[in-house]
Amino acid sequence: MWAQVLNALLGIWLMASPAIIGSEKIATDNAHIAGPIIASFAVISWWEATRSVRLYNLPVGAWLLLAPWVLQYQHTAPLVNDMVVGALVIGLSLVKGKITDQYGGGWSAIWKSKEQ
């Protein structure tokens, strides 16, 4: 859970960062779009039953690593920020954390038939 708390904070940081470190239009928009998505997926995965939603942040984190090159950022600050945040988000998304309760087979139990 702590890893997903950090990811939520990273998402919020991304939303605020253009106003703090300075940025260009395209990098600002990118941070304003990726930030809320990362924070939302992270917050949803705070709970055990929806912990796997943390994995949805993997492609978003990967996009942050690619974005400065694909969108051709001209400034160094947003480039470094996106690369660092992207790498951290990917790493923290992989941390599953403790699952202490039991959920009757979880989400896959909905799709699997148990013929009697």
Partner 1 sequence: MSETQGFPPGWSYNPASWGQRVPIVLLAILGFGIATYMALFQLNVFGTVWEPFFGNDSRKILTSSVSRVLPIPDAALGAIGYLADALTGAIGGTRRWRTMPWIVIMFGLAVGPLGFISVLLVILQPVMFDAWCTLCLCSAAISVIMIGPAMDEFLASMQYMRRVKDARVSLWKAFWGYKEVQGKVI
- Shortest distance, position 103 Cβ to partner 1, whole Å: 6
Q: Which residues contact 62 (CB under 8 A, 6 or more apart)?
A: 86, 90
Distance CA 81, CA 62 (A): 13
Q: What sign does the dihedral 83-62-69-35 (CA atoms) show?
A: negative
Shortest gap between Cβ of 11 and partner 1 (angstroms)?
10
Asked if 13 interacts with partner 1 (CB under 8 A), we say no
Among 33, 62, 65, 71, binds partner 1 (CB under 8 A): 33
Interface with partner 1 (CB under 8 A), residue from 5, 6, 21, 37: 37
Single residue of 6, 24, 28, 65 touching partner 1 by CB under 8 A: 28
Find out whether 66 and 75 touch, Cβ atoms under 8 Å.
Answer: no
For the bound state, the minimum distance from the C-beta of residue 73 to partner 1, rounded and expressed in Å, comes to: 17
Residues in the chain: 116
Q: Which two tokens stand for residue 114?
A: 């148990």
Site residues for partner 1, 44-83, by CB under 8 A, read 44-50, 53
